[in-house]
Structure formats: structure tokens, C-alpha cells
Structure 1
Amino acid sequence: MLAKRIIPCLDVKDGRVVKGVNFVNLRDAGDPVELAAIYDREGADELVFLDISASHEGRATMVEVVKQTAGEITIPFTVGGGIAHVDDMKRLLRAGADKIGINTAAVRNPSLISEGARKFGSQCIVVAIDAKFNPEWGEWEVYTHGGRTRSGIRALEWAREAERLGAGEILLTSMDADGTKDGFDIKLTRAVADATSIPVIASGGAGSARHFVDVFEEGRADAGLAASIFHYKELTIGDVKEALRREGVEVR
């Protein structure tokens, strides 16, 4: 079994890291370059950098901040937000990103997944899915534009389609759990992990080390992503890894 990964997420707006609850009420959490360097030193396995307002505002991800961040770290680095074309991917990879996260643009134009995979390899393409439970359907719906827009697409169907088109990973955020610190959405994570054969990064709801144990053991996630518990020093990467080791979960 592959070792499970612990991934801090830097949600960046106007050049600063921010964090909210259920995608709203954002508060400042620091400088992205400084935080990235700290997490690298603390033993994070990877980093995810999301320019959370880029798609909504219709602009490109901040290449300069990506370049500065990449210069401070040695671990793999995924960048997403406002990426609409293969040329955007190329620009960010040249700036130092290792992987590219796409969400809104991929929903609008699914061929972006296959184009990116063809040009840069599947391992480079991370399809981010923001999902919220739709009680009328009895399952989860995909949202775009930083959680602002309903897509009318079922999350499990979209995850399978993303894999078919060449995605190498799925970054799955539960909008219902996001920022609540009540735990990852185990049902959603397990459903997507069972529906696909590519790695699933679980995101949204981490509040304790136990939540990581649960999402790996019950949710079958390959990686656990968190933001506020790390940014506000409620837990360190080391705390989480130690708890996982005690439970017999293999970590790096």
C-alpha cells in the first residue's frame, strides 16, 4: 500500500492566504511564500496552492507568487485557480509548479483534461471537484467558480469522466464539511474512491488527527488535505503523522 500523504492547502486571494467556513467568511492566514517554506520544513508531503478567486474574477493565477513559492520548497507543488488553457498550464509549470489543478475550466471544457494529460502527462493533471450534497438527488453535485455556481453535474459521474479523460488525481472538497472541523466527509470520499482507480485527495472538514485516520481507513483516501488547522497552529504536520503511525497507517 502506498504511504498516505499529508497536504497543507494555501487558499490565496489578493496575494494572501485566507480561510473561511463553507467557502465564505474568509480571514487572513498569512503570506503564501512564508507558509509554504514552513510546511516544507515541517515535513508536508506536498503543497496545494489555490488562487480561489481567479476563476470567479476571470483572471490568471498569479505566476509571480507561484515562482517565489516554488523557490522556497523542495516538495511537489500543485497550483490551481483560473487555469483555462494548456498555455496557462505551461506557464505555471515553467514557474515551478509540479502539478496543475483544474476545476471550473474542466467542467466547461472537459477536453482540457485530455489535452493537458497528453501534453504534460496524467501525473501532472489534478481535477479538483467541489461537491455539495443535493437532497433532491440523494447524491452530490459539482459546484464551480470557487463554490459559487451549481453545475447540474453529479459528482461521481464527473469523477469517473475525469479519470477516463486522463486525470491523474482527484482533489475532492466537501463543501458541506469545509472549514467546519467536524471531520472529512467520509461518505463522499469513499463513494469517489470506490468509483475511480486514481488517487483521491480528501479535503474539507479536518479538525483533529483522528479525522485523518478516519478518512484514510474508512474513506479510502490516498491523501488528506487541510488548511486552517495547520495555518492557525492547532496541529502540526508532525502531530498528524505521529497519530497515523500509532494507528498503523503508513506515512512518509
Structure 2
Amino acid sequence: MLATRLMPCLLMSNGALVKTVKFKNPTYVGDPVNAVRIFNQKEVDELILLDIEATTHGLGIDYETLEKVVSECFMPICYGGGVNTLDDMRRLFNLGVEKVCLGAAAFEGSDLIRQAAAEFGNQAIVVSIDIKKGLLGGYSARTHQGTKDTRMTPVAAAKFVEEMGAGEILLYSIDRDGTWSGFDLKLVQDVVNAVRIPVVASGGAGSLDDIKAVVQQSGASAVAVGSMAVFQGKDLGVLIKFPSRKDQDAIFA
């Protein structure tokens, strides 16, 4: 059985690190290169870096900033944002990115996931499924920072990307993003039970207990933390930090 992973999930906009709340109102939190240097010192095992403007505003991949980040990073990086073609992926992998995270492009009717998995291997292809709860209580998978509805339920979206060849799912709760309110445990559990590939829970982490709960109660294979990695605490200032190895061992014991 694979060890449970804990990783920072960093959001980038116009070359800077930001943090959102429910995918809105991005707050500047610093320079991505400096943050990576700190995470190197903290011996983080893996890093997720998502450019939130690349697809939504059609800016494409910020290779200039990404190259600086990768050159400083001692850990595997999963990058997402503006990835639309196999050529995009080839360039990212040549740059030193270990995994590519697909978002909108995975749900736009193309065969991109299957083609990417065939060329690069399933383990290198992650699909981000961003979930929002509707006014009547139903959940749906969204793209473009939550502004476009795929009309797919979380389970349907997860089964679809698994069938297409994705090696991992980044399950991101839009409603919990940046709230420090804990994970949507039922949402994560429903998706975990529907697929055989690893599910990374993201959106809502506010404490070590939250992380423990989503692993032990919902069965998440890995956990991504955003606010906990860039702020001192809820409503407090910026501080790049990460749970110690001792704390992680206690969580996942």
C-alpha cells in the first residue's frame, strides 16, 4: 500500500503566489521561487502548482516563471494551468515537471487524457475535478475557476477521467477553498469509493485533525493544503510553513 502523501497546493497568478477563498478574491502571498526554497528546507515530498489565470483568461502557460520555480525545486512538481495540448505537456516534462494536471481541457470533448496517458504514462497525468454545490444541494464539476458547469456529478466526472486514463484525481472543493472549515468528507468518500486511482483531497484544510479525518474517514490517498501552507492561521498574516515529519507521522500512523 502506498504511503499517504501530504503536499502544498500553491496558486499562481501573473507570476505571483496568491490564495483564494472559494476560488475568488485572490490575496498576494509572495514569490513562488522563495516559497519553493522554504519548502525545500522543510523536506516537502511533492508540490502542486496551479496557475489560476492561465486558462480562465487565456494567458497560456507562464514558462518563464515556471522555469525559475523548477530550477529551484528539489521535490517533484505537479503543474496545472493552461495545459491544452500534447506539445504543452512535452515542453513541461522537458522543463522538469514530473506530473501535469489537466483541468478544463480534460472535459472539452477531446481525447487529450487518453493520448497523454499513452505517451507519458498514466502516473504522469493528473486531472483536477473542481466541485461546487448548487443552490438545490446537488454537486457538479466545474472548470474555468468554477464559472463553467460541466453538468457532471463528482462521481460521473471521476469515473470519466479514470476511464480515459488519468492516473490521479485532484478533488478540489470550491465551497471549502480557503475557508479553514475542514474537508467535505462525504464528497471525498463518494469519489474515492467510485474509482480505483488515487484521490488527492483539496479544499478546506484548517488543522492536522482535518487532514487526519479526510484520510481515515474518507479514504483519500493524499491531501493537498493551501492556506495552511501559506498563512500563520485563519485571518492571520503570510507565513510559508508545513507540518513537520513528526506531525505527519502522527497524522498517518
- TM-score scaled by length of structure 1: 0.93
Paired residue for 2:204? 205
Measured in 2, the distance between the counterparts of 1:49 and 1:105 equals 17
SS at match of 2:180: coil
> SS of the residue aligned with 1:126?
strand
For 1:238, the aligned partner's letter is P
* Pairwise CA distance, 1:228: 1.6
> How far apart are 1:43 and its partner, in Å?
2.2
- Residue type of the partner of 1:154? T
User: What is the SS of the residue equivalent to 1:26?
Assistant: strand
Decide whether aligned partners of structure 1 residues 100 and 213 sit closer, same or farther in structure 2, where only a CA change above 3 A counts: same
Residue 242 (structure 1) shift = 3.1
Cα distance change of structure 1 residues 125 and 55 upon mapping to structure 2, 3 Å threshold: same
Corresponding residue number in structure 2 for 1:245: 249
TM-score normalized by the length of structure 2: 0.93
Could you say which residue in structure 1 is the equivalent of 2:13?
13
Q: Is 2:42 the partner of 1:47?
A: no
Indicate whether 1:227 and 2:232 are aligned: no
Q: Deviations over 1:208-229 (max 9, x none)?
A: 1111100110111111111122
Q: Can you give the 5+ residue segments of structure 2 that lack an aligned partner in the other structure?
A: 234-239
Residue type of the alignment partner of 1:2 = L
Aligned to 1:69: 69
Q: Which moved more, 1:209-218 or 1:138-147?
A: 138-147
Corresponding residue number in structure 1 for 2:180 = 181
- What stretches of structure 1 move > 6 A for 4+ residues in a row? none
Asked if 2 retains the 8 angstrom alpha-carbon contact of 1:159 and 1:196, the reply is yes
User: How far did residue 96 of structure 1 move?
Assistant: 1.5
Letter of the aligned partner of 1:191 in structure 2? Answer: D
CA distance in 2, matches of 1:134, 1:57: 24
Structure with the largest fraction of helix: 1
Would you say 1:159 and 2:158 are equivalent positions?
yes
Cα 1:110–1:135 shift into 2, 3 Å: farther
Q: Which runs of 5+ in 1 are unaligned?
A: none
Q: Once the 2 structures are TM-superposed, how far is the Cα of residue 16 of structure 1 from its aligned partner? A: 0.4
Distance in structure 2 (CA, Å) of the matches to 1:23 and 1:209 = 23
Q: What's the offset of the Cα at 1:244?
A: 4.2
- Report the count of equivalent residues: 247
Cα separation, 2, equivalents of 1:117 and 1:245:
32
Provide the alpha-carbon RMSD of the alignment. 1.5
Query: Within 2, Cα distance between the matches of 1:229 and 1:236?
Result: 7
Separation in 1, partners of 2:212, 2:110: 33
- The amino acid of 1:90's aligned partner reads R
